Amino acid sequence: MKPLPLRILGLMSGTSLDGLDLCLALFDSNEGGRWTFDILAAETLPYDLAWTHKLQQAHALGALDFVALHKEYGALLGNRAAHFLRSRHLGADYVASHGHTIFHQPQRGVTFQLGDGAALAAAAGLPAISDFRSLDVALGGQGAPLVPAGDRLLFGAYERCLNLGGFANISFEQAGQRVAFDVCPCNIALNALSQTLGTPYDRDGAFAAQGSVNGALLDELNAIDFYAQRGAKSLGREWVEQVFFPKIAACSLSPHDRLRTVCEHVAMQVARCSGSGTLLATGGGALNAFLMQRIADLSPCRVVIPEALVVNFKEALIFAFLGALYVCNEINTLASATGAKRSSIGGCLSKN
């Protein structure tokens, strides 16, 4: 018998370093076995400059310093989770944490999300589920995307689900299976370009709207080998630094033109896989009015932007849900989406 209902606090830190998303949700299933959710509270806590720098530079640390940071960041997550619940006089059964991705090279069998689960559980005073990706990578998968399990069970009313976070990724049903893949860089690139103009992100795409598309750069970005790959595929920071950013840096363009061209690139790549029917768009990029207009202009589908809580916290909500599936001993990682040998129940439990 499932231990339902469950109150789980989901934690999500994305590659764009916007901050830590916290989403407390109540999960249950109705008489037909369909999962339901209710978001009870949610908040984004920005990183201060010190933590932003630590996360940006974590990949360059020596082994001992890296392990120490893993513990320190886990304690930070736990303390923030505890304060979030305490300040609202709310309780939770579990914390489910994505962590912060530092390394993602599934072709080498490597993925690492910072944020030690034991340190998190100790600081939060709650059992914590973490390290959701490692088992899938060990099974030969990409370790990503993991959100499709939640898309299928919580947002199945939409033909396709698009997340515009650090990377754009999409999931949909195909021949009875949920397939998914990373589409292209999104906020990880747009935010970096915006920072050259002295702002952390391009609000509403206003800077991009002032620029012009550079056809040569757009063609070069669209010709990147990754976009010709089929099946399960994922992107990481390393790929952006080694493949994507050098192509932009090689062009003598204004920051506005670079933003405009990358924005067009994102819209074109999303449109290529948007299909027909309804496309649910969430994540920080869904708040970029100019980007969303270009996606709508180029896509044959009907783009749906849901209520603000779902737009801003869908990934944290779904990691909370992946925790619920873990607790219920149900599959939370789909091989059809990741390319693994089999579907699995990913995550590690640290009991307080």
**Alpha carbons 164 and 154: distance in angstroms, whole number:** 18
Q: Which two tokens mark 126?
A: 């709650």
CA dihedral 149, 150, 156, 162 (to 10 degrees): -100
Helix (H, G, I), strand (E, B) or coil at 291: helix
Task: Note the pLDDT tens digit of each residue in 24-83.
Answer: 999 999 777 799 999 999 999 999 999 999 999 999 999 999 999 999 999 999 999 999
- 341 close to 135: Cβ distance less than 8 angstroms: no
C-alpha closest to that of 98 among 166, 173, 188? 166
Q: Report which DSSP code applies to 32.
A: T
Q: Is 269 exposed, middle or buried, given 0-12, 13-18 or 19+ CB atoms closer than 10 A?
A: buried
Question: CA 47 → CA 20, 37, 288, 339, distances in Å?
Answer: 7, 28, 21, 33
In angstroms, the Cα distances linking 130 to 41, 100, 133, 192, 295 are 21, 11, 9, 28, 34
- Backbone angles phi and psi of 20, in degrees to 5: -100, 120
Distance CA(101)–CA(318), nearest Å, equals: 17
Question: Which are the contacts of 39, defined by CB distance < 8 A and separation ≥ 6?
Answer: 23, 24, 25, 309, 310, 313, 317
Contacts of 174 (CB under 8 A, 6+ apart): none
**Cα angle: 159, vertex 5, 329; to 5 degrees:** 75
Tell me the C-alpha distance between 244 and 232, whole Å: 20
C-beta atoms surrounding 190 within 10 Å: 27
Nearest to 261 by CA among 212, 223, 326: 212
Which residues are registered as beta bridge partners of 26? 7, 38
- For 317, the token pair is 């909500």
> Could you give the angle at the alpha carbon of 51 between the alpha carbons of 50 and 56, nearest 5°?
105
148-309 maps to which CATH number? Answer: 3.30.420.40
With vertex at residue 286, the alpha carbon angle to CA 281 and CA 289, rounded to the nearest 5 degrees, is 130
For 296, half-sphere exposure in the C-beta direction (CA atoms, 13 angstrom radius) is 13
Taking domain 6-141+320-350, whether its CATH number is 3.30.420.40 is answered by yes
Instruction: Please give the Cα distance from 266 to 207 (Å, whole number).
Output: 15
| pTM, entire model | 0.88
Token code pair at residue 306: 């849901």
Q: Is 138 exposed, middle or buried (0-12, 13-18, 19+ CB in 10 A)?
A: middle
Instruction: Confirm whether 6-141+320-350 and 148-309 share one CATH topology.
Output: yes
Tokens of 341: 């040998």
Residue with tokens 């896509």: 299
Residues in the chain, pLDDT under 50: none
For the chain, which residues make up each domain, given as ranges? 6-141+320-350, 148-309
